[in-house]
Amino acid sequence: MFGGGGNGAWMLMRHGRSDELEKGYKLAPGTIPRALKLAAKYKFAIFWFLAVTVGAGFLAAVPPLLLRALVDRALPPRHHDGHLVLWLAVAGIAVAVISAIIGLASRYLSSKVGEGLIFDLRSQLFDHVQRMPVAFFTRTQTGALISRLNNDVIGAQSAMTGTLGNVVTSLITVATTIAVMLYLNWELTLLALALLPAFVFPSKRVGKRLQRITREQMGLNADMNSTMQERFNVSGAMVAKLFGHPDRELESFSGRASRVRDIGVKIAVYSRTLFVTLALVSAVGTAVVIYVGGRLALSHRMSTGDVVAFVAYVGALYMPLTLLTNSRVDLMTSFVSFERVFEVLDLPHAISDAPDAVPMEAPLGRIEFRDVHFRYPRANEVSLASLEMGGAFEEETTSGEVLHGVDFVAEPGMTVALVGPSGAGKTTMSNLIPRLYDVTSGAVLIDGLDVRAVTLESLRDSIGVVAQDPHLFHDTIRNNLRYARADATDDELVAACKAARINDLIMSLPEGYDTFVGERGYRMSGGESARRS
């Protein structure tokens, strides 16, 4: 009885966007049908999950009836049926065993569906995002993108298992409980239901406050995580060491951390207040039912067993009824996670293979820029507002042309240097060759073939790039070397490293080619990292 109040409190504060939904938030058209279509792959597991959930709801109505039979038929002095007591005890054990089996089956099925959805959504998101153009990553907040892969994917999973399962369980529990209560005494049932507003009002009032301060806490935690991510990666740590002021950094971080601490205390107080309030209302409701039911039993309008069973049903009724009053908000809030996942999946790839693209044969290496014009794409062409800083595009105007009618040819075997001041477009021109960006007009050709006419994979396999800031993954040297060519043999790795004059250095390391190089390769010097990449 008391535990129900606590669960209701956490149900109300679980989602950060519930209040927006209550104000009339509408899901994007087609979100729910699309989510159901995605879950259709697990339709048999979902069917059996709902079936066992329904079974659990009906089974929950049995123990009070056993108690009723014990009080009315087995224990009264004029009956004293020892055999019935035994069979009621056996029935109680059977109900407990069946409930345990149903609980295990429900957990297995919900996990099968939930973890399957997490896998499917994460795989689709990862594959879709990794194929986005560089312009997408230059604008998107990494933390916001990771949140889609983690928090929103898990939120989408909960819509199909946790939230939907809770709603079905609550519906079955309420329906069966009220049906039995009406059978026992319809007047007492109406009295018990009349106390429901005393549950709903504090739940909604305190719940809204919990939502508001919990959302603030989540935002502050996100800010602290971003700060730690920026300061504690290798590049950020170097900047902080060279130019930062530790005391100022600590003051800024502590200000947000102290606010999180204060909010945590408020959440604890609000949650406990709601818990105590619901427990008190439940106790008062139970006391009213005991008094009225007792009076009815004394006047022989109800049996003693009926009153005992009725009190048990009242204790099991209020929590699911309270949850059902918020079921629409809970379901819609869960489906918002699906909406946010689909939003990313629906973002088109600005750079992709043409329908008639062909693989590039081993090129001779003649590079031609033919009347190339280029401007960087606008934010709304490559990104999502919800993934940008502040959740909105900062500008909608074009960047202006960076390249204006560039023409030149680099013949095979030539060494060509692009010289000019910072911002002249040197890096931009090199990025157009492997199609990290596409030209606005004109064409970039390799051996007379437009780079947009060949497949991206074959194009990039034909081009070698040494970046200004070489990036090495936190992995072994061997795995870093094989990143571009997973089928490269050990002999080929050694030959390449000897050509780059880095084999001796690698062999001098403790584990040779199996040595971990650290985040972004910072255990090696810049020149060493460049030669290895």
**Contact between residue 9 and residue 203 where contact means Cβ atoms under 8 Å apart:** yes
Quick: pLDDT tens for 49-88. 888 888 888 888 899 988 888 888 888 777 677 788 889 8
257, exposed or middle or buried, with CB in 10 Å at 0-12, 13-18, 19+? middle
The domain limits of the chain are: 2-345, 367-461, 477-532
Secondary structure (3-state) at 530 = helix
Of residues 372, 373, 437, 375, the one with CA closest to residue 400: 375
Its pTM stands at: 0.70
pLDDT value of position 443: 93
pLDDT value of position 442: 92
Of residues 345, 384, 338, the one with CA closest to residue 130: 345
Around Cβ 205, how many Cβ atoms within 10 Å?
A: 12
pLDDT value of position 25: 55
Can you spell out the DSSP letters for 60-121?
A: TTHHHHHHHHIIIIISSTTT--HHHHHHHHHHHHHHHHHHHHHHHHHHHHHHHHHHHHHHHH
Q: Looking up tokens 């939930």, which residue turns up?
A: 114
pLDDT value of position 233: 67
Around Cβ 170, how many Cβ atoms within 10 Å?
A: 19
Q: Is domain 367-461 annotated with CATH 3.40.50.300?
A: yes
Residues in the chain: 533
Quick: pLDDT tens for 142-174. 777 777 777 778 777 777 777 777 788 888 888
Cα-trace Rg, the chain: 33
Dihedral sign of CA atoms 182, 186, 190, 192 in order: negative
Task: Report domain 2-345's class.
Answer: mainly alpha
User: pLDDT averaged over consecutive 10-residue blocks of the chain (533 residues)?
Assistant: 37 43 62 84 88 86 89 77 85 92 89 86 88 82 75 75 77 87 87 77 70 68 69 70 75 82 83 77 83 87 88 82 68 76 86 89 85 86 71 56 88 86 84 90 91 89 76 82 85 89 86 77 51 52
Q: Looking up tokens 């700060």, which residue turns up?
A: 227
Q: What gap in Å lies between CA 311 and CA 308, rounded to an integer?
A: 5
Around Cβ 277, how many Cβ atoms within 10 Å?
A: 19
Beta bridge mates, 370: 443
Can you spell out the DSSP letters for 29-65?
A: TTHHHHHHHHHGGGHHHHHHHHHHHHHHHHHTTHHHH
189, exposed or middle or buried, with CB in 10 Å at 0-12, 13-18, 19+? buried
At 38, the amino acid letter reads: L
499, exposed or middle or buried, with CB in 10 Å at 0-12, 13-18, 19+? exposed
- Give the side-chain half-sphere CA count within 13 A for 206: 25
